[in-house]
Structure 1
């Protein structure tokens, strides 16, 4: 019989208590649901077992990464439709305690187990991080960074393009190229830091060296870039040499906590602070403060979550934590500003560039999809699926204001009280 999709569609709607807005195609070829909607392809019964034994976001992620689930059609449209069922049901959603007392709920679960086959929980995909030890030690941070960034420089070249900048671009308009927007972001950072020839810049989490090369080549700065990724460092050093900047740029494999050759005139931290963690954040801010000369500037570019509940709490996303950024934590921008101020900084400017990240991520997804076969061969099919899902979902998160990204400019203001900033603070010079 070829009735798996109609049965599955009906049981899921019974379980959720709302219509399922996507079409479903099951392993037996059957289909059910709105004919013009994106299609959720359930390739095998194992997908159901993953969802039943780990309900919610992590079960869906495991099925997606393993290739048990796929989306046909517009991935953004599908995620938008599914997000209302998975991530945004809020207080209207039935709690598990309420649901298990509902006879219809129990009937639906029994029906799904009947469809799912042998009642054995599948092993998680190999791409899932197995955590061990305390968070944010030097060893666990190295392991977390290696998991995300040591995927292969060739893979990142596909996604990021020639700029090799793995953070939010700064778009002059939606029709600009990714390269133009990334160059504008690098220039914006340098202008906010007011870099002048021979000033010392510490680039914390320097990635593949793009900001270091721009700061040295365009502004004459002397740059030290630190990263925990061996692959990034090797790639960045080659780029520095190719640009003829080895006398001005040094790339180190080094933890920011081990940098001891201050003072620096400026510090950039672009897309790195999300990895620091709640318990370590004040220490991170204090370390950077100590490395700056009086009057020196910090540009802290960081993703933030929207406040809800305890605004000082940090948030960990199950899928992101297990497959993308192990041990990463997001806090509201107000928490970040408070921690920087507690460390001694004077915060002078906060600029939200949330919409810019949505545009950036859509460009990255388009690049990945355009060269999908090669990307899957380089990183492995599971890892490529992780990147496609997290980037597409993140694009929607920024566009829908579920998450944001902010550039915080802070100064180690000297005792004289002179910050060195212009009276009109958005005139960056």
Structure 2
């Protein structure tokens, strides 16, 4: 068995205090867990100059630990928000955001700043909407204090942590704190997606999927389960851990993590499709047409978030199409963490013309936006990739179409 060897080292919240009381009742504190994440020792003050994926073990360990704990906290928050019927806040683009998005982003960025203070982060959320909603800001601050143990945090310092995510750099962490917010709100699938790019090229990916079954024997399409973490380093394969720690050291857990590989299917009619639940994210009709062109009979599995990539990476599907409206510009945090996981598991990810994705511009500019030329994204088990791309050519508009 392959092993990865590491050294041992629009509605607002009506009462944040009522919310916090219920959250305290439903959850246990993980402040010690977050505060235990410490900065690894570095002898080189500019480590990215000579960094390769063979010496990113510290980064991987911190990423797994941070995403895992954030995923556990988010799962509890999901239960609390649903039970208290707290609706989401609406952003300027009409997309929803919850206090979990802000809380998880602040927790992850704060942990990264402790461990790698010289690194930069490109993350989805900013403090703009939160600053306009003092009740929601107070609720986020209360939960952040609870989870991090940092009781000194003020509203301004919390907003500063959130906005730290907009600064680019040669070593760039890429974060979607709650990928699949609508699934989160429905009580279904979401994930904490954390990746790293060196000079704009993704080299590390972690997907903490709190509701995905950790065992393939218990997984059935979009069924809910105990949670798992998918992770990968470029050139070292893709692996999986349960969401909850097993009592061993994290280094020991990583060493014995389960390797994952994509499906070996080569015939188009064998393909199992994944698609987003929301039609705004991808055209279901075009996806159905592509499936028909391949001779696929099995209906697609609908699921929110980058959890789809994780399931495809462990062989539970073969094809995923993201075909948004023309003119839509993709965000790197929606794909970069999962890109490493799926490619290290043997799969492929390209645009609809079969060209490689370019994450560098989103890292350099700090906007998180890909190039305008991406008209869709094709993810497969690799063996079916060219066949799927070719099947799209007759009915999906080429670049600029």
- Bigger share in helix: 1
Q: Greater relative contact order: 1 or 2 (C-alpha under 8 angstroms, separation 6 or more)?
A: 2
TM-score by shorter chain over 0.5: no
Q: Of the two, which has the highest radius of gyration?
A: 1
TM-score norm. by structure 2 comes to 0.28
TM-score norm. by structure 1 comes to 0.27
